[in-house]
Amino acid sequence: MFHWPKHKRLAISLTFDDARPSQVDTGLDLLNEYNVHATFYAVPNNLKKRLKQWQSLAEAGHEIGNHTVNHPCSINFPFCRENGLEDYTLDRIEQEITECNRLLHSLCGVTPETFAYPCGNTFIGRGINTQSYVPIVARHFLAGRGFPSEWHNVPEVCDLAQLNGRSFDQLPFEIILPWIEQTRQEKGWLILAGHDIGFDDQRQMVQVNTLRDLIEYALNPANGVWLDTVANVARHLKAVQKEINNEH
């Protein structure tokens, strides 16, 4: 039977997309206050707005992951009318992903180990010519995170290249707590995905009080939570899944 390390009963990863300024302006001090590490999926141009802070974030042990150069999503999103995945090719999305890796290494000295699909979209093309770019992500990264999902990840069987990520923008901790309890029942992995960090009631804002409550809950030994980056948890699960496959 599957067991988490050190008698933990579930894993939680905190992830934030786009490299928005509030993540380092507001979130970084809070995370460092508790000495916990989160995963930040970065669009390189956004890093330049607070580059020294992002470099400090990486040095502090937080994970910086790949979120592509141009954040391409479905053409149905207004901001992607000129950059829609429906008009991409597999070669184009792969080149953009590898270029993002190069830029992130140049800016922050990191080699991204995990990826987050912009808008959670995993396809390129249209109709009968639609193709998944999940295999590209699987080839280049330890793990890929989807968004928004409705469930946690089951360690023995989850596909590391397309992990579930549940949105926690705007939500109070009281809404998230039942998700944690569900995850614990299956010894699962709950990946929470957010955007800005702050106090305003914006559509894509993780509330500071929610984040603080989550961290304090996870750090209470009685709750049995392994709180860590996507890369660290995925690395453990990759070894577990390899061992299970070898046994069969």
Domain that includes residue 57, residue range: 9-247
Residue 1 within any structural domain of the chain: no
pLDDT, mean of residues 5-29: 97
The pLDDT score that the predictor gives to residue 164 is 98
Q: Which amino acid is at 143?
A: A
User: Is 4 within the bounds of a domain?
Assistant: no
Six-digit token string for 91:
């070669």
Answer whether residue 17 shows pLDDT above 90: yes
Task: Give the tens place of pLDDT for each residue, 83-107.
Answer: 899 999 999 999 999 999 999 999 9
Burial degree of 125 (CB within 10 A; 0-12, 13-18, 19+)? middle
Q: How does residue 203 score in pLDDT terms, banded at 50, 70 and 90?
A: confident
Query: pTM score > 0.85 for this model?
Result: yes
**Domain of residue 188, CATH code:** 3.20.20.370
Q: Is residue 157 part of a domain?
A: yes
Q: How many domains does the chain have?
A: 1
68 within domain boundaries: yes
Is 240 within the bounds of a domain? Answer: yes
Omega prior to 148 cis, within 30 of 0: yes
End-to-end Cα separation, the chain, in angstroms: 14
Q: Is residue 3 situated within a structural domain?
A: no
